[in-house]
Chains A and B, each alone.
Chain A
Amino acid sequence: MTLYKNDSKKLTEHFFRNEYGKLVAVITQYIGSKNVETAEDIVQETLLKAVDHWQHSGIPKNPQAWLYTTAKNLTLNSINRKKHESNYLLNTLKKEHQLNPIEFSENLIMDGQLNMMFACCHPSISENSQIALILKILCGFSISEIANSFFTTNETINKRLVRGRKQLRKSNFDIRIIQNINDNVKIVLKTIYLLFNEGYYPSKKTTPFQYDLCLEAIRLTKLVIKSDHIKSKAECHALLALMYLNCSRFEARLDTADQTTIELPKQDRSLWNQDLIQLGIQQLQLATDENSVSKYLILATISAQHCIAKTYETTDWNSIVSLYDQLLSIENSPIIHLNKSVALSKTKGNKEAITQLLHLKTNSDIENHYLFHATLGELFKNEKQFKKAKSAYLKAINLTKNSRNIILLNKKINDLVPISKTQLL
């Protein structure tokens, strides 16, 4: 901000958003998970106080400490008020904290956030509600920001939050019970991965991706990795590797002219973020230390294969095909078959890939997914069967809700025409 003098303190990006999550997590540890909403109110009040002070007298030297002191005082006020009102809150306070003064230590912030993450991902809470809770409580998104991210209404998100909070109040999760945390790591990672994918491949939206959601997913995974409570972290490293590697292509993936996605074969590889690729490879190495294979590890390895290839054509397609085969032995899903078919077209030819896809259609409902037809269209185009390619692209257009995909698919149809108009007829 140019208006600020050099000596003036600047807030780091998303400072309030991140601090919101930390503060709620710590305060909840003191006032009990039944009172998450009270904690959220206290934090919102803390931030409002900061706004009033900071906008007039500048940002303090240590904004974090300022927030923690204010939040602490507001929490104590709230506890004292409730003491007078009733014993309700008092009874839910954890005994050991009643004696300790409230403090915002590194450890408490870490554990608090982790505890909250696992509580939000409790198996009794639906996936939709899990993600909404995490974004609201841990990532400091407002209801309308969540609704915008998922292209739905405030009411829908509110309903998911209300349902989620109901379960949250019931489940008193405690990460200090090691059994709890290690049983649920997989669910937490799955929720984080869903969050990441919603940012990377938005299901219905008007922009090609949402970087914010991907960054939050990365931040949360790092939190899990930092924790001493978790025994086996191979899968966490693998997921982080996958996210770093996929994010490395963000810039190359966006066509700034019309806000559509540029697909892998056409991306300018010099735009790939080498720092993120390095981070991804490091995590990948950590992930392979434990000699266990997970879905994320295979996906990350596939992503790494793309990242290290000089060109699309010289990618190690044979390795990728066998990685997909491994993946299918863990999770036999039509989407994975679909992705494999692209690699297969490079090793066994387009015809073989088309045959396999048409076979896939007969024993799954993949036909309802736009990507199936878009992929088929691509393969037909490569085989110079332009009429079939066009009809596949048209089916894909009918099935996607993302207006950017429609633009992209229409582009593909137009690209078919100049080659030979007669081939389309």
Chain B
Amino acid sequence: MKEFLLLIRSEEAPKANLSPEQLQAHIEKVGGFIKRLTEEGRMKSAQPLEMDGKILSYKNGKIIDGPYNETKEIISGYYHLLATDLEEAIEITKQDPRFEEGIWRIEIRPIKKVKGIN
């Protein structure tokens, strides 16, 4: 099994415009998806992220705030997934019912295993 980090991307405050009915559907569908994968042992972790965080960088000898992205796109959550290879990870990700809402993008990144370390 290989490990994958899935970055859930969206515009800022993605769910703000969903109606109560749509929010309930989201919990039921996406919640069910996460639960199933967790029970199958494929989902090691899945968490939403707060909207306000910090970006730090190093400039002119000191650590500074920023620079922040110009775009409105943010990472609003992540999945830590197990799959045999990238193809299977893609197939699993395609089953995420959140895609039906049309406001999400998911980036699938294999976690690099460096031999000899760990």
Residues on A close to B: CB < 8 A? Answer: 1, 3-5, 8, 10-11, 14-17, 19-20, 44, 47-48, 50-52, 54-56, 58-59, 140-142, 144-145
A44-B16, A51-B15 known; A58 vs B31 contact (CB < 8 Å): yes
Q: What residues of B have a CB within 8 angstroms of the CB of A141 in the complex?
A: 19, 21
CB of B24 within 8 A of CB of A15, answer yes
Q: What residues of B have a CB within 8 angstroms of the CB of A50 in the complex?
A: 23, 27
Q: What residues of A have a CB within 8 angstroms of the CB of B19 in the complex?
A: 17, 140-142, 144-145
- From the candidates B21, B26, B36, B39, name the one contacting A51 in the complex (CB within 8 A): B26
Query: Could you list some 28 contacts between A and B, CB below 8 A?
Result: A1-B29, A1-B32, A3-B32, A4-B35, A5-B39, A10-B28, A11-B24, A11-B27, A14-B24, A16-B23, A17-B24, A19-B20, A20-B20, A48-B15, A48-B23, A51-B15, A51-B23, A55-B26, A55-B48, A56-B34, A56-B47, A58-B35, A59-B31, A140-B19, A141-B19, A142-B19, A142-B20, A142-B22
A193 to B61, CA, bound (A): 71
A44 to B15, CA, bound (A): 10
Q: What residues of A have a CB within 8 angstroms of the CB of B16 in the complex?
A: 44, 48
A47 to B27, CA, bound (A): 10
A1-B28, A51-B15, A58-B35 known; A16 vs B20 contact (CB < 8 Å): yes
Q: What residues of A have a CB within 8 angstroms of the CB of B39 in the complex?
A: 5
Interface of chain B, helix or strand or loop or mixed?
helix
Q: What residues of B have a CB within 8 angstroms of the CB of A15 in the complex?
A: 24
CB of A56 within 8 A of CB of B48, answer yes
A1-B32, A3-B35, A142-B22 given; 14 more Cβ-contact pairs under 8 Å: A1-B28, A3-B36, A5-B39, A15-B24, A16-B21, A48-B16, A51-B23, A54-B31, A55-B26, A56-B34, A56-B47, A142-B20, A142-B21, A145-B19
A10 to B46, CA, bound (A): 20
- From the candidates A10, A48, A55, A140, name the one contacting B21 in the complex (CB within 8 A): A140
CB of B27 within 8 A of CB of A51, answer yes
> Is B30 positioned at the interface, with any CB of A under 8 Å from its CB?
yes
How near does chain B come to A7, taking the closest CB pair, in angstroms? 11
Most chain B beta-carbon contacts within 10 A, residue among A3, A19, A54, A59: A3
Interface of chain A, helix or strand or loop or mixed?
helix
CB of A8 within 8 A of CB of B23, answer no
Residues on B close to A: CB < 8 A? Answer: 15-24, 26-36, 39, 46-48
Q: What residues of B have a CB within 8 angstroms of the CB of A48 in the complex?
A: 15-16, 23
A283 to B34, CA, bound (A): 45
Question: Which residue of B has the minimal Cβ distance to A44?
Answer: B16
Question: Which residue of B has the minimal Cβ distance to A140?
Answer: B20
CB of B23 within 8 A of CB of A56, answer no
CB of B15 within 8 A of CB of A55, answer no
How near does chain B come to A256, taking the closest CB pair, in angstroms? 23
A58 to B32, CA, bound (A): 8
Q: What residues of A have a CB within 8 angstroms of the CB of B35 in the complex?
A: 3-5, 8, 58
Q: What residues of A have a CB within 8 angstroms of the CB of B36 in the complex?
A: 3
CB of B23 within 8 A of CB of A47, answer yes
CB of B30 within 8 A of CB of A55, answer yes
Q: What residues of A have a CB within 8 angstroms of the CB of B22 in the complex?
A: 142
Q: What residues of A have a CB within 8 angstroms of the CB of B32 in the complex?
A: 1, 3-4
A335 to B33, CA, bound (A): 52
- From the candidates B21, B26, B31, B47, name the one contacting A145 in the complex (CB within 8 A): B21
How near does chain A come to B44, taking the closest CB pair, in angstroms? 13
How near does chain A come to B25, taking the closest CB pair, in angstroms? 9
Q: What residues of A have a CB within 8 angstroms of the CB of B21 in the complex?
A: 14, 16-17, 140-142, 145
CB of A59 within 8 A of CB of B20, answer no
Q: What residues of B have a CB within 8 angstroms of the CB of A11 in the complex?
A: 24, 27-28
A58 to B34, CA, bound (A): 9
A3-B35, A3-B36, A4-B35 known; A54 vs B20 contact (CB < 8 Å): no
How near does chain B come to A159, taking the closest CB pair, in angstroms? 19
Q: What residues of B have a CB within 8 angstroms of the CB of A140 in the complex?
A: 19-21
Q: What residues of B have a CB within 8 angstroms of the CB of A52 in the complex?
A: 48
Q: What residues of A have a CB within 8 angstroms of the CB of B30 in the complex?
A: 55
Question: Which residue of A has the minimal Cβ distance to B13?
Answer: A48
Q: What residues of B have a CB within 8 angstroms of the CB of A16 in the complex?
A: 20-21, 23-24
A44 to B20, CA, bound (A): 8
Question: Which residue of B has the minimal Cβ distance to A144?
Answer: B19
CB of A54 within 8 A of CB of B33, answer no
Question: Which residue of B has the minimal Cβ distance to A13?
Answer: B24
How near does chain B come to A170, taking the closest CB pair, in angstroms? 27
How near does chain B come to A15, taking the closest CB pair, in angstroms? 6
